[in-house]
Structure 1
Amino acid sequence: MPSNIVLVTGVGGELGGKLLARLGTNPEFERVIGVDTTPPQKSVLQRMGHAEFVRADIRNPLIAKVISTANVDTVVHASCTAHPAGPGRRTAIKEVNVIGTMRLLAACQRSPLVRKLVVKSTAAVYGAGPRSQAVFTEDSELIPTSTSGYAKDAVEMEGYVRGLSRRRPDITVTLCRFANTIGPEVDTVLSRYFALPVVPTVFGYDARLQLLHASDALSVLELATLHDKAGVFNVGPDGVLTLSQAIRRAGRLELPMPSGVVPSVGKLLRGARLVDFSADQVRLLNFGRVVDNTKLKQEFGYTPRWTTREAFDDYITGRGLRPVIDGNRIAGLAGRILVAAATGQAVGR
């Protein structure tokens, strides 16, 4: 049975906003509603067709009224934040990730018209560590890298989704675990990290990274909305890049440092509002994470158009990143980072 009236959460973000615009120009849907506490970007508002924006907070029980009043039959939950670009309010983000998901799923459970749920999750639920699998499948154990990070939020969120599936087996649930996304317009920890002129790394580590192009992530959510694709799916591209390879391709200068200095450097970068280095991100950059996309290709029916290498190169081109060639400037900045990390001072430009 095709979707008719669709509600999309998180439309103030890049992925949710673009999905709203794409669904809003699809004549197959009678109505498309986007909800968030902030409106979509201006570029989305200008091309979202017949889609509507409703300012609503999924943490508020009133989200149930929006779903029931509009006779929503398909809900796309795209507001979960796993890779915030810069320093944010951890409590507020956790509330949206966890409390917001609880409220939204409770509203879905109470509405007899809701028959499909599509959820954007993250491959970060598998964690990253020295004993991690080389390649994670959908059946791998969920082991977030910290007890209080964004990946832990995603594990809790997935638990609520499984609970809804047990209580409402009539609802088709598609849960997508996205690898780290990259692209010219993507603003995440990694997109900011690789744009730094001097990229701090840890001695002795060269993680394998899997980078999903934002257009592939958008296509997967669109297909899951258009068609019934029940199940859990890893959404990752073919191929990997090591951290050192990515740094060289971006034309950055790698700055290896002892692991004990990394927390201080991360604190300095957060203080300068450049990059938010959480414990989850540090472990990813140390140990890496790769997911198997066989189920995505064979059961979901989608093969990512961009490999990891191609997606990263498109990010470099789209951002206009040029190789750092001023040796004196680089040497000076590298020296200031090390001195600041040792003294706890801010990094100057």
Structure 2
Amino acid sequence: MSDAMANSGVLITGAAGFIGSALLRAFAAGGDGPVTALDLREVPLQERLDGVAYEHGEIRDPTLKEVIARVKPRTVVHLASVVAVGGDDRRDYEIDVLGTRNVLEACLAAGVGHLIVTSSGAAYGYHADNPVPLRETDPLRGNEDFPYARNKREVEEMLARWRNDHPQLRQTVFRPCTVLGPTTNNQITALFERSVVTGLSGTVTPFSLIADSDVVAALAQAVRTGKGGIYNLAGDGTLSLREIAQLNGKPFIPIPPAVMKGALWLLHALGLTKLTPQNVKFIQYRPVLDNTRLKSEFGYAPQLDARAVFERYRDERPEPMS
């Protein structure tokens, strides 16, 4: 019997995160074999789920190989990554790119049969000439001046090399668009929640959206079916910032891109924001993701379209504390 055949259960990296913790809850009821949660953050004993083994560790740490070798999972779901834009560029690279390489090497050494990775639609890059919509066969260009997108592209280039060199480690790669749930709180939702929603003139700024519940369901399906492949992860349709403002009952003010770049330059120089003028393309050229392959080949149809995703976020999010 091969190592891959002898392995069982699933190990989730980044298991204490937004999606990781929800995926754990989906598996905690049992039926999927042993479940192991790995995260840099310690989960308090009172918050731990029955039927889940908890490991404290970091994906950049060489001891990750020892953990995966000891657990011997059949499947690894790799969710640990940098989410926030505008952090420490070197640290972000080490986590996203070098950390993923460490996960790949640990999986191969331990005889893991299936690796599921959440990449990002940002791997396509934010470019004026992006196809609309973007399909999985379109080139991954990232952005050299946008570390988040560049790192996601490098991760996918590495994954492609590993698919060629180590086909015994089957891969499922998801490229999510903007993930939104009632408890989402990040730089994207900050755009929605200001008293006045500001966008850019001369661009529609269409947001592809996917519900956190749909992301979890697609990941769980990948674990349970073992199906490999590369899939955009997006609900049907898009919403513009203007439409989002209207749905949220907020006024919308379009600002010329040059004015926005100047404002960010000044705010960044004053230390009031981590964003730079280069980040304007993050709003100006949103990647619009096609989900045909997700539905037809992978066999998962998102339950909520873009409008329903936003309305769920708007209607179910916790009330702000006074």
Query: What is the aligned partner in structure 2 of residue 310 from structure 1?
Result: 308
Query: Which secondary structure does the structure 2 equivalent of 1:52 belong to?
Result: strand
- Matched-pair contact (CA < 8 Å) for 1:11–1:34: yes
Give the gaps of 5 or more residues in structure 2.
none
1:34 aligns with 2:32: no
Post-superposition CA distance 1:75-119 (Å, at most 9, x none): 1101123x417x5333322211011111111111222x2101000
1:72 aligns with 2:73: yes
1:213 and 2:211 equivalent?
yes
- Name 1:162's counterpart in structure 2: 160
Matched, 1:222 2:208: no
Q: How is 1:119-134 mapped onto 2 (pairs within 5 angstroms)? A: 119-134=117-132
1:277: Cα distance to partner? 4.1
Tell me the equivalent position of 1:299: 297
Measured at CA, do residues 165 and 278 of structure 1 come closer, stay the same or move farther in structure 2, by a change above 3 Å? farther
Aligned residue pair count: 314
What fraction of aligned residue pairs are identical, expressed as a percent? Answer: 27
Measure the CA separation in 2 of the matches of 1:262 and 1:127: 20
Change in Cα spacing, 1:15 to 1:236, as seen in structure 2 (3 Å) is same
1:330 alignment counterpart: none
Q: Which moved more, 1:249-258 or 1:50-59?
A: 249-258
1:317-336 matches, cutoff 5 A? 317-319=315-317
Question: Is the contact made by 2:208 and 2:288 (CA closer than 8 Å) also made in structure 1?
Answer: yes
Letter in 2 for 1:16: G
> Residues 10 and 278 (structure 1 numbering): CA distance in 2 closer, same or farther, change over 3 Å?
farther
- TM-score normalised to structure 1 length: 0.82
Map of 2:237 onto structure 1: 239
Structure 1 position 228, deviation (Å)? 1.4
| CA–CA separation in structure 2 for the residues paired with 1:225 and 1:278 | 39
CA contact (8 A) 1:149 1:279 kept: no
What amino acid maps onto 1:233 in structure 2?
Y
Check 1:279–1:261 CA distance in 2 against 1; reply closer, same or farther (3 A cut): closer
Please give the alpha-carbon distance, in whole angstroms, between the structure 1 residues aligned to 2:46 and 2:191: 29
CA contact (8 A) 2:9 2:32 kept: no
Partner-residue secondary structure (3-state), 1:118: strand
Evaluate the alpha carbon distance shift between residue 39 and residue 251 of structure 1 in structure 2; reply closer, same or farther with a 3 A threshold.
farther
Q: Secondary structure at 1:194's aligned position in 2? A: helix
- Which residue does the alignment assign to 1:19? 23
TM-score normalised over the length of structure 2: 0.89
- The structural deviation recorded for 1:10 is 0.8
For 2:14 and 2:277, the matched residues in 1 are separated by 24
Deviation at 1:150, TM superposition (A): 0.5
Instruction: Tell me how far apart the structure 1 counterparts of residues 7 and 263 of structure 2 sit (CA, whole Å).
Output: 48
Write the letter of the residue equivalent to 2:294: L
2-side partners of 1:208 and 1:169: how far apart?
A: 37
Match of 2:294, SS state, is helix
Letter in 2 for 1:205: T
Q: How does 1:270-285 map to 2 (within 5 A)?
A: 271=271, 277=275, 282-285=280-283
Q: Secondary structure at the match of 2:193?
A: coil
1:219-278, Cα deviation, whole Å (9 max, x unpaired): 1111111111111011111111122111221122223223223235446499557xx646
* Shift in CA distance, 69/2, structure 1 to aligned 2, threshold 3 Å: closer
- Give unmatched runs, 5+ long, in structure 1: 323-349
Matched to 1:309, the amino acid is: R
Whole-angstrom CA distance in 2 between matches of 1:247 and 1:118? 35
Distance 1:182 1:278 in 2: 24
RMSD: 2.5
Amino acid corresponding to residue 34 of structure 1 in structure 2:
A
Q: Which residue of 1 aligns with 2:102?
A: 103
Aligned counterpart, 2:256: 258
Deviation at 1:316, TM superposition (A): 1.1
AA aligned opposite 1:292: D
Question: Does 1:84 find its partner at 2:87?
Answer: no
Distance 1:161 1:117 in 2: 10
**Alignment-mate amino acid for residue 15 of structure 2:** V
